Structure 1
Amino acid sequence: MADTAALDPAPIAAARPESRDDRALHRRVFLGIALALALAPLVLYPVFLMKVLCFALFALAFNLLLGYGGLLSFGHAAYFGMASYVSAYAAKTWGLTPELAILAGTLVAGLLGLVFGALAIRRQGIYFSMITLALAQMAFFFSLQAPFTGGEDGIQAVPRGNLFGLVGLADDRVLYAVVALIFFGGMLLIYRIIHSPFGQVLKAIRDNEPRAISLGYRVNRYKLAVFVLSATLAGLAGATKAIVFQLASLTDVHWSMSGEVVLMTLVGGMGTVFGPIVGALVIVTMETYLAQFGAWVTVIQGAVFVLCVLLFREGILGLLARRLGRPL
């Protein structure tokens, strides 16, 4: 049984072959996103945009696991946060260039996902979710106590450095272009994974795991593979965020970060290709422009989540896709 059954199986539409019209629609969406990325810095603050892109990539990575793998993880902050710490430490202490620092953080997140995933996939449903939460809490307390993380102070004043030793990233607009390329590349990779034969098997396991086993698929191998892919891409988002904000802190690895990415995915549309981007935009915008309300921002986010569950369980883009009759 899919691990998302405790939430609601309705948001995940039944898998169907992608038609030529669907592919044409998705190409237009990709072109629209590319155009929006190019024009956005002209009207919005680049640092805000970079934050949205980092969290959008994080949400896309999580949606790969939940929306297409059917695995609900409550511990994805572990990969996002640990990659952030490693990237910040590599840039500040080792003096690595930003691309190498981001790569180091991403690789560590992938290795951590391999270890944690190998343990977690031994169980299903709520037990799987609780194991991921417990493992993430271990990562949090490690980050709190480890000498290289700076404890409660975190790693501050992380240098942005020069990309490939040539292009300085001190200018927010230059760094935005780099982050936009990372986001767009990650999005294309996730799209390719979803629409590959591997992705089709994932959907089959999500929808009917016993039948997939009866057909001869080694289900646990597929689950572990998608877990590692999701953790690695989440790490890419976290490592990039550390360079953008020149900071890695306990906030990145705290359990609330795991809850936040679940919220982004569900608000945008679980099991949709582009929904997590919309969800990340909504949540980050709320956090940024409602910051004056202090702790009440969390209450407002909770109210938005409740409204989404009650009024459109498919999420914003899931509802739009149902109205259009096309997968988004």
Structure 2
Amino acid sequence: MSEQTAGIGNASEFEDSGPAESAPGNRIVQGVLWGLLILSILVAPAFLYPVFVMQLLCFALFACAFNLLIGFTGLLSFGHAAFFGGAAYFAGHAIKVWGLPPLFGIITGALGAAVLGYLVGALAIRRQGIYFAMITLALAQIVYFFALQLPFTGGENGLQGIPRGTLFGLVSLNDPIVMYYFVAAIFMIGFLIIYRTIHSPFGQVLQAIRENEARALSLGYNVDRFKLIAFVLSASLAGLAGATKAVVFQFASLTDAHWQTSGEVILMTLLGGMGTIFGPIIGAVTIVTLQHELASIGSWVQVVIGGIFIVSVLLFRRGIIGELARVLKVSGV
């Protein structure tokens, strides 16, 4: 029996006990959440400022990409802002200086983040636990230093004036509504990639590694290889979000690559529900909305968000979606 064939069967042994994802209740809840997600994306511009919703979608994709790593592989990265911010600079430079169309500039940013992810992951996965997390933080700080010092990044002023251009040379992305649905399409593509990965045999192996790495290793899996692939995939999707954000705001800044952004995406994931599918979206929407609505109180917004995080950890340890799934006794959400 081949390694992959054996893995499909054995990986299921690691899955959490509980209702099967094919149970009617699970399908209904999943259908409702999918319906709400799609409906919200379609009608949001009619009720909210399109640029604000685009920001929500970018951070939601960033949080979902991070959740693929921590929630389904069990790897805590303190340096994911390096891929988010690095891709923003890559995309901005490719569009502004090289003259690439925005779509290809975003793809360039995602590919650049994938390369960064491979370099960081190849070093970091040699260690586990807090050592892995600290290595990712240290390497992310190196990326931040380069973003501060390299000439093309603009230093503390950031990379400004990134043109939105046109889509396929036909439709101008300077129209906020056109730009919004372009960003929405990118978000859905990224989210569907994550969803399909989670529900694939590869995703089952990742969850097996998360639950019991030693047992996965004893079954014959090359654990380090699976971890590295998951890390690169997570980094590239985080880069996709960062590159898209740079085009939306026509600006790439040091904030995108700062360690605080890494902390925020961890908070989004934990608040929404680590290891859930829709949780990071809820967490991202909650945090970004609070930052936007409480901007008038200045730095005190961090105190408010910190308080909310403490309450959530104490009272909703599974996150918003995790607690909802527990109450409804469903899984796979």
Give the TM-score, by structure 1 length: 0.94
1:117 partnered with 2:138: no
Q: Deviation at 1:31?
A: 2.5
How does 1:157-196 map onto structure 2 within 5 Å? 157-196=161-200
Q: Is residue 39 from structure 1 mapped to residue 60 from structure 2 by the alignment? A: no
Structure 1 residues 15 and 94: CA distance shift in structure 2, 3 A: farther
Query: What is the CA distance between 1:35 and its match in structure 2?
Result: 1.1
Deviation string 1:217-255 (CA, Å, 9 cap, x unpaired) is 111011001000000000000000000000000000000
SS in 2 for 1:320: helix
Q: Which residue of structure 2 aligns with residue 257 of structure 1?
A: 261
The residue type paired with residue 81 of structure 2 is A
In the other structure, the counterpart of 2:144 is 140
Q: How many pairs were matched up?
A: 317
| 1:224 alignment counterpart | 228
Change (3 A) 1:75 1:233: same
Structure 1, residues 137-184: CA drift from partner, whole Å, max 9, x if none? Answer: 000001000111000001111110001111100011110000111111
SS of equivalent residue, structure 2 residue 21: coil
CA distance in 2, matches of 1:219, 1:225: 10
| CA–CA separation in structure 1 for the residues paired with 2:18 and 2:148 | 43
Partner of 2:291: 287
Q: Which residue of 1 aligns with 2:316?
A: 312
Q: CA deviation at 1:312?
A: 0.7
CA distance in 2, matches of 1:29, 1:323: 15
* Partners of 1:13 and 1:271 within 8 A in 2: no
Distance 1:253 1:13 in 2: 35
CA distance in 1, matches of 2:18, 2:103: 37
Distance 1:240 1:164 in 2: 16
Structure 2 counterpart of 1:164, one-letter code: F
Following the alignment from structure 1 to structure 2, what is the Cα–Cα distance between the partners of residues 23 and 126? 37
1:54-93 equivalence runs, <5 A: 54-93=58-97
CA RMSD of aligned residues (A): 1.3
Q: Percent identity?
A: 61
CA deviation after TM superposition for structure 1 residue 291, in Å: 0.2
Moved over 6 A (4+): none
Pairwise CA distance, 1:13: 5.5
Give the equivalent residue in structure 2 for 1:102: 106
Partner of 1:7: none
Residues 36-78 of structure 1: CA distance to partner in whole angstroms, max 9, x if unpaired? 1111111110011000000000000000000000000000000
Aligned amino acid, residue 40 of structure 1 = A
Q: Structure 2 length normalisation: TM-score?
A: 0.93
CA distance in structure 1 between the partners assigned to 2:271 and 2:288 by the alignment:
12
| Partner-residue secondary structure (3-state), 1:71 | coil
Deviation at 1:24, TM superposition (A): 4.8
Residue 171 of structure 2 aligns with an amino acid whose one-letter code is V
Q: Give unmatched runs, 5+ long, in structure 2.
A: 1-14
3-state SS of 2:48 partner? coil
CA separation of 1:13 and 1:297: change in aligned 2, threshold 3 A: farther
Partner Cα separation in structure 1 for residue 19 and residue 130 of structure 2: 28
- Note the alpha carbon deviations across 1:71-105, whole angstroms, 9 max, x for none: 00000000000000011111111111100110100
**Correspondence for 1:272:** 276
1:324 matched residue in structure 2: 328
Question: Displacement, 1:25?
Answer: 3.4
Question: Is the CA contact (8 Å cut-off) linking 2:67 and 2:269 kept in structure 1?
Answer: yes
Answer yes or no: is 1:203 the counterpart of 2:204.
no
> Using the alignment, how far apart are the partners of 2:95 and 2:102 within structure 1?
6
